[in-house]
Chain A
């Protein structure tokens, strides 16, 4: 008898509440983002694939000081320095092993020249292991920029500390 009363009470008092909840949600907009078709805009400080910045005149910011490689906890940055005809240092080889990289952003913080940044690109899976070694030509931004920079660069001009005799 008790069970019957409880069941009738549930059917008329409690079950409608449940039905109303699901029906209300039925008319709400799905939260799904249809990923390959639509992409969520990334958070401004998202740490994706690295890129190397340039000055406005197109010269590379990186001076191959090695601070990024020193700061790197996973030891994934390799660089070889060289001097150009004006005697300025630049990186002849600059490689990041993106399989080792943990995308911590320490290189970005360590860089005194505002040269390396972690961008917003996150779709770089590949069946080829070698393609994960990012070389300089892949990381440097195109010279006449196609997109606006993600980060605001504080140093606009190059600082020149004295000249070198030829």
Chain B
């Protein structure tokens, strides 16, 4: 019993630390990649290749003065960053990030909690983050904040539909909601016949994957769907009135959300921690998982550097008139083939 608690706490600490470090370094990655795509260097002053930049940023944000506007709602104003921050971290509770192995004679599962409704949990928790945004916008008492919050809530609710429906196809095929079982299913040969390819759901659900990717980007409020914080129109959207650590909590939440969505995408569509040579070296599985998440993150950044922001009405029309019907179609077609 004691060992279980010890193992569990070690895992929690490691995962939270890894996610927070990941958030910090994805900011650096983003600035570097976008910079190079625009023929700039990106940050390169703090440390070799600017590797200490996130640290410097963090220190700066901690020591910044906290400015509170006059007409805020103090309690909600305080709570909002936490509300958006916690669900982002919470997602990692159910994501399997490596193959089970033994560690000094004990079974050591590389997942914090193997929930049998893992997918449902992930989708429920990621949707909670929106409360942080709405409360932040409302309690700031600023027109930019409330505009950002309203846009964000409308956008996230709209895209939630497509987001949820996009993976229903996978769930119909897999017949399970547990993320661990989903990964194990994807280790089989493709469609049970093609032996040199894994049964990753991206092969059987390509449309579902594209829909998931699109909705995930909209869900995390990233470019080109970054309506809530459209700099050119809304200053910074819902976190305009925040400063110091409260601002950075929103920032971390955004990046943690990105990583969480990437991890979910990697688990559901790209086979999670699955990859070659796992029988001989089980710890490679963590590397594979990180690599897949990195690919998603790179795609996020690449997309941001490539496409301009949607107009708001185009965004809503796209969500309801394109993504939603396509996701429905995908579900129906999948269900049809499964019944056959």
Contacts and interface: CB of A to CB of B under 8 A. Distances in A.
A152 interface: no
A19 B322 contact: no
B189 interface: no
Interface stretch (B1-9, B11-19, B37-45, B269-277): B37-45
Nearest to A20: B306
A22 B306 contact: yes
Contact of A26 (B33, B303, B325): B33
Contacts of B306: 18-19, 21-22
Nearest to B42: A30
Interface stretch (A3-11, A49-57, A125-133): A3-11
Interface in A18-58: 18-19, 21-23, 25-26, 28-32, 34
Interface string B279-321: 0000000000000000000000011011100000000011001
A7 B210 CA distance: 12
A31 B39 contact: yes
B160 to A, nearest CB: 19
B36 interface: yes
A23 B38 CA distance: 10
Contacts of B210: 11
Contacts of A18: 306-307
Contact of B318 (A7, A21, A28, A29): A7
A22 B322 CA distance: 26
Given A18-B307, A21-B306, A23-B302, A7 B39 contact: no
B38 A25 contact: yes
Contact of A32 (B33, B39, B305, B322): B39
Interface residues of B, number: 21
Nearest to A23: B302
A141 B77 CA distance: 65
Contacts of A25: 36-39
A11 to B, nearest CB: 7
A30 B36 contact: yes
User: Which secondary structure dominates chain A's binding surface?
Assistant: helix
A26 B39 CA distance: 7
Given A3-B322, A4-B326, A22-B306, A32 B41 contact: yes
A29 B202 CA distance: 34
B305 A22 contact: yes
B36 A26 contact: yes
B35 interface: yes
A22 B35 CA distance: 11
A7 B325 CA distance: 12
Contact of A7 (B36, B40, B303, B322): B322
Contacts of A30: 35-36, 39-41
A15 B214 CA distance: 13
A31 B39 CA distance: 6
A8 B36 CA distance: 29
Interface in B18-49: 33, 35-41, 44
A3 B321 contact: yes
Interface in B66-117: none
A22 B302 contact: yes
**A7, A21, A29, A34: residue with the most chain B Cβ atoms closer than 10 Å:** A7
A4 B39 contact: no
Contacts of A28: 39
Contacts of A21: 306
Nearest to A34: B41
Contacts of B317: 3
Nearest to B210: A11
A22 B37 contact: yes
Contacts of B321: 3-4
Nearest to A11: B210
A89 B88 CA distance: 81
B215 to A, nearest CB: 13
Contacts of A15: 307
B35 to A, nearest CB: 7
Interface string A100-117: 000000000000000000
A15 B210 CA distance: 13
Contacts of B36: 25-26, 30
19 contacts: A3-B317, A3-B318, A4-B322, A4-B325, A4-B326, A19-B302, A19-B303, A19-B306, A21-B306, A23-B37, A23-B302, A25-B37, A25-B38, A29-B39, A31-B39, A31-B40, A32-B39, A32-B40, A34-B44
Interface of A: 3-4, 7-8, 11, 15, 18-19, 21-23, 25-26, 28-32, 34
Nearest 10 pairs of A and B residues by beta carbon: A7-B322, A22-B306, A32-B41, A22-B37, A31-B39, A18-B306, A26-B37, A30-B41, A3-B321, A22-B305
